[in-house]
Amino acid sequence: MHIEKYSFGSIIVNGKKYTRDLIIFPNKIRENWWRKEGHKLHLEDLKEVLEYKPEILVIGTGAYGIMRVPDDVIKKLTEAGIRVIVKKTKEACEAFNTLIKEGKNVVAALHLTC
């Protein structure tokens, strides 16, 4: 998987354009990723990620960083053995691509707007 371009509300992954939040796994993309609360991440929003158990989870909090990632969510993910990186979505995309190039088992959960 490779993120080719990100801009507010739009992302291109492996040549395909998406306009809704998504989770990028090494072998699939979970489109139309909805959360319990749009701008606050809950552990249950990441059920598929927890089942997959990547080495690293990169969370994109939106173009302006509006989506909050509570400390307890980060703590639970860390306790599950998943390293968590939280950044605004543009920087999260760059981090994801870098980690993929390094051969890491990484998943990205990305909020595409605010």
CATH code assigned at 29: 3.40.1230.10
Residue 63 clears pLDDT 90, i.e. is over it: yes
Residue 38 clears pLDDT 90, i.e. is over it: no
- Listed in sequence order, the residues at least 6 apart from 112 whose beta carbon sits closer than 8 Å to its beta carbon are 6, 8, 9, 10, 11, 18, 19, 20, 21, 22, 60, 62, 63, 89
To which residue do tokens 């809704």 refer? Answer: 20
Question: Phi and psi for 10 in degrees, rounded to 5?
Answer: -150, 140
What is the identity of the amino acid at 77? L
The range of the structural domain enclosing residue 91 comes to: 3-110
* Structural domain count, the chain: 1
Mean pLDDT taken over the chain: 97
Q: What is the pLDDT at residue 94?
A: 98
- Listed in sequence order, the residues at least 6 apart from 18 whose beta carbon sits closer than 8 Å to its beta carbon are 10, 11, 12, 29, 31, 112
